[in-house]
A and B are shown apart, each in its own frame.
Chain A
């Protein structure tokens, strides 16, 4: 089956997640990104391409260099999806707090 590339697929790879964490700190050129990894420049460039295709990363031309930076709106798609599970756990933690308080009284 051939699925459309989406943010979930893009972040399923640890190298791509590392690239995202890296450029979250500031826009970077492809060379400086590749400098942080042992993999070949080609491999890293392929990862950047996938991240760009699903718009997690945007490119900007500055003089002769291309800079890649994070697209926070797309990151939000992931966090919005995860939000429902976070809300569920926060409810459970509140319940746990109540249980511990009643354990003390006993």
Chain B
């Protein structure tokens, strides 16, 4: 498992408040969907071994499709860290391969995610999100993606 995304941000809030962004469905629903998307479902089962189901819905202008993901919690240290595995899923929370739910072939399948919380003063918290994935597996998908793009390019040029 190699690290492939690491983002940090300093928030003007106590650790306990920032923590709620991950544990309270009404907060998760406000940030999980990217810009213009909505998050109509955040079925949160926040405990080690538990699995949450989250949904992001594309705006009607983008086709309005719903994309489901599951977060299976592997380790939780109260107000310090949350570790979970992200997978794409169907509406019932069954794990799906990226290509089965219409995602690009190079979308990683099992994404191990680590969120850490650090108090850096009164009402100031630094939160870091790190995503890890198996690049060996991705190499396979990246290869398929490349072949598909080459196929498309060839079609454009009438090959």
Q: Do residues B5 and A86 form an inter-chain contact, with CB atoms below 8 A?
A: yes
Binds A, one of B11-19, B40-48, B75-83, B151-159: B11-19
Contact of A11 among B17, B106, B135, B143 (CB under 8 A): B135
Closest CB in chain A relative to B10 CB, distance in Å: 9
Chain B hits for A11, CB < 8 A: 2, 135
Contact present for A92 and B131 (CB under 8 Å)? no
Q: Are A100 and B11 in contact (CB under 8 A)?
A: yes
Which residues does chain B contribute within 8 Å of A4, judged by CB atoms?
143
Contact A103 B17 (CB under 8 A): yes
Judge whether B7 and A93 touch: CB under 8 Å. yes
Q: How large is the interface on B (under 10, 10 to 19, 20 to 34, 35 or more residues)?
A: 20 to 34
Residue from the list A3, A86, A90, A93 in contact with B143, Cβ < 8 A: A3
Q: With A3-B143, A8-B135, A81-B106 as given contacts, are A17 and B17 in contact (CB-CB < 8 Å)?
A: no
**Residues of B with Cβ closer than 8 Å to A?**
2, 4-7, 9, 11-13, 17-18, 20-21, 27, 30-32, 34-35, 106, 127, 129, 131, 134-136, 138-140, 142-143
Given contacts A92-B31, A95-B30, contact A9 B139 (CB under 8 A): yes
- Which one, B17, B32, B136, B138, contacts A92 given CB within 8 A? B32
Interface size class of A (residues with CB under 8 A): 20 to 34
Task: Describe A's contact surface by its main secondary structure.
Answer: helix
Please name 19 pairs of A and B residues whose Cβ atoms are closer than 8 Å in the assembled complex, sorted by A.
A3-B143, A6-B139, A6-B143, A9-B135, A9-B136, A11-B135, A81-B142, A85-B4, A88-B34, A92-B32, A93-B9, A95-B30, A96-B18, A96-B31, A97-B11, A98-B30, A100-B17, A103-B20, A104-B13
Interface residues of A in 1-25 (CB under 8 A from B): 1, 3-4, 6, 8-9, 11-12, 17
How far, in angstroms, from A97 to B11 measured CA to CA in the complex?
6
Determine whether the beta carbon of B7 is less than 8 Å from that of A90.
yes
List, in ascending order, chain A residues with CB within 8 A of B27's CB: 99, 103
Please tell me if A37 contacts chain B, counting CB pairs below 8 Å. no
